[in-house]
C-alpha cells in the first residue's frame, strides 16, 4: 500500500512569508484550533505543510475570525486538490460555482441556499466514485441560537468496534446514494428542489468498502452513514438493515464527538475520510448562512 505524504499541489504556491501559527488541540475526541493564521494573506509552503499535517492529526481544524472573500476561500481549498461542484448547482454562489451556499434564508419567496444541509449524519459526497477529501465551511451570518455542527471521529469508531461487528463487516462493501433520504427531506422542508434527469445522472449509486483506509495516514475508519448508505452488498435486506442500524448507532456515540459552536467568521475544515458530521439545527426564526467548498478525494479502498 502506498501512503501519500502531501498533496501534489503543496509546492506550487510560490513564495510567501511564514506566519506565526500555533495548533491548539481541543479537549475533545478530535479537533484543533489554528491560531495566528490569516487566510487572506498568501500561505507559505512551510505553513501549508503545518496545516496539512494538523488536518491529518486532528481531522477538524478551526480557523477563527477569517475575513476572507469567496475567491480566497476557493484558492486555499484548491491547494488541497480540485474542487467538486454540488449536484444542487442552483445553490452555488453567483460567479463561484465551487461555493455551495448553506443557508435557511428565503428571499423573494425562494431559498438562497441549502437550508437543511447536514440533517442526517454523513460524510460529504460519499455517494460519488471519488468522495470528498475534505470540506471547508466559512460563516457569513450566524443565528443567536442553535446552529452547532457535530463531528464524529470514525477512526475511533473503528478502533472501538465490537468483535461481532468487525466479523460481520470484514471484507464487505455498502451502497451509497444521494437519493437515499431525498424524498423524505423534500417532505420536511422547502430546501430540496425536484432534480432534473441530468442531476439524477450525476448521482448514480456507488459501492464503497464499509471500512476504508485513509490514503495519507493508513488508518482505518468506518465509512457508512445514515444519510447516504442504503445496503450492505451481498446480505439479505433484513440482515443488511439490522447491521447498518448497529453501525450507525455505534459510530455516533458521544465519546467520538466534537461539538462546534460557531463564532463570527469561523472557517472550519474537516476530513471527510476520517469524520462524519451533523447539523444540530437552527430555529426557524434565526438566519444562518455559510459558504462551503468541497475538495475531491480518492476512490476509497
For residue 8, the model assigns a pLDDT of 43
Q: Among the listed ranges 131-145, 188-202, 205-219, 243-257, which one has the minimum average pLDDT value?
A: 188-202
Q: Is the pLDDT of residue 5 over 80?
A: no
pLDDT over 80 at 10, yes or no: no
pLDDT at 226 over 50: yes
Q: Which residues contact 159 (CB under 8 A, 6 or more apart)?
A: none
H-run or E-run covering 230: strand 229-232
Percent of residues, the chain, with pLDDT higher than 90: 89
- pLDDT, the chain, mean: 94
Which of 58, 122, 176, 260 is catalytic? The answer is 122
Is residue 277 flagged as an active site residue? yes
Higher pLDDT, 292 or 15: 292
Whole-number pLDDT of residue 256 = 98
For residue 191, the model assigns a pLDDT of 77
Residue 107 pLDDT more than 70?
yes
pLDDT reported for residue 4:
44
Identified catalytic residue from 55, 86, 155, 292: 292
Q: Looking at residues 247-266, what average pLDDT do you find?
A: 98
Domain extents for the chain?
A: 13-296
For residue 172, the SS3 value is coil
Report d(CA 288, CA 114) in Å as an integer.
11
Judged by DSSP in three states, 34 sits in strand
Instruction: Find the mean pLDDT for residues 268-281.
Output: 97
pLDDT value for 259: 98
Q: Is the pLDDT of residue 167 over 90?
A: yes
Right CATH number for 13-296 from 3.60.130.10, 3.90.550.10, 3.30.565.10, 3.40.50.720?
3.60.130.10
Catalytic-residue membership of 227: no
CA distances from 142 to 69, 197, 264, 279, 285 (A): 17, 34, 7, 13, 12
Exactly one of 116, 124, 266, 271 is catalytic; name it: 124
Distance CA 26, CA 259 (A): 11
Q: What is the pLDDT of residue 260?
A: 98
- Give residue 269's pLDDT: 98
- Residue 1 in this model has a pLDDT that exceeds 80: no
Mode of pairing for the β-strands spanning 110-111 and 132-141: unpaired
Indicate the pLDDT class of residue 193, thresholds 50, 70 and 90: confident
For the question of residue 124 being annotated catalytic, the response is yes
Collapse the DSSP code of 38 into the 3-class scheme (helix H, G, I; strand E, B; otherwise coil) and give the result. coil
Is 91 a residue whose pLDDT tops 70? yes
Answer yes or no: 292 catalytic.
Answer: yes
pLDDT band for 13, please (50, 70, 90 cuts).
Answer: very low
Beta-strand runs (E) in 4-120: 22-25, 32-35, 60-63, 92-93, 96-103, 106-107, 110-111
Q: What is the mean pLDDT of residues 280-297?
A: 96
Mean pLDDT, residues 63-83: 98
Amino acid at each position: 500500500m502506498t501512503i501519500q505524504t502531501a498533496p501534489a499541489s503543496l509546492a506550487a504556491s510560490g513564495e510567501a512569508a511564514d506566519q506565526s501559527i500555533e495548533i491548539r488541540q481541543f479537549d475533545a475526541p478530535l479537533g484543533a484550533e489554528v491560531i495566528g493564521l490569516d487566510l487572506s494573506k498568501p500561505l507559505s509552503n512551510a505553513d501549508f505543510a503545518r496545516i496539512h499535517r494538523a488536518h491529518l492529526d486532528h481531522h477538524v481544524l478551526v480557523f477563527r475570525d477569517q475575513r476572507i472573500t469567496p475567491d480566497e476561500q476557493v484558492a486555499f481549498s484548491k491547494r488541497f486538490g480540485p474542487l467538486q461542484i454540488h449536484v444542487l448547482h442552483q445553490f452555488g454562489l453567483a460567479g463561484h460555482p465551487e461555493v455551495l451556499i448553506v443557508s435557511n434564508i428565503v428571499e423573494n419567496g425562494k431559498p438562497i441556499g441549502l437550508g437543511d444541509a447536514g440533517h442526517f449524519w454523513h460524510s460529504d459526497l460519499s455517494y460519488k466514485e471519488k468522495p470528498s477529501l475534505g470540506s471547508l465551511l466559512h460563516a457569513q451570518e450566524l443565528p443567536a441560537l442553535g446552529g452547532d455542527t457535530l463531528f464524529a471521529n470514525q477512526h475511533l469508531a473503528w478502533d472501538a468496534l465490537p468483535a461481532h461487528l468487525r466479523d460481520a463487516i470484514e471484507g464487505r462493501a455498502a451502497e451509497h446514494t444521494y437519493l437515499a433520504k431525498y424524498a423524505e427531506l423534500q417532505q420536511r422542508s422547502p430546501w430540496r428542489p425536484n432534480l432534473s434527469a441530468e442531476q439524477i445522472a450525476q448521482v448514480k449509486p456507488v459501492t464503497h468498502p464499509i471500512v476504508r483506509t485513509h490514503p495519507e495516514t493508513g488508518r482505518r475508519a468506518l465509512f457508512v452513514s445514515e444519510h447516504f448508505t442504503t445496503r450492505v452488498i451481498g446480505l439479505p435486506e433484513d440482515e443488511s438493515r439490522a447491521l447498518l442500524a448497529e453501525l450507525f448507532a455505534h459510530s455516533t456515540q458521544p465519546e467520538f464527538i466534537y461539538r462546534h459552536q460557531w463564532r463570527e467568521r469561523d472557517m472550519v475544515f474537516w476530513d471527510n475520510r476520517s469524520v462524519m458530521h451533523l447539523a444540530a439545527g437552527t430555529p426557524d426564526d434565526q438566519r444562518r448562512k455559510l459558504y462551503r467548498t468541497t475538495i475531491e478525494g480518492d476512490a476509497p479502498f
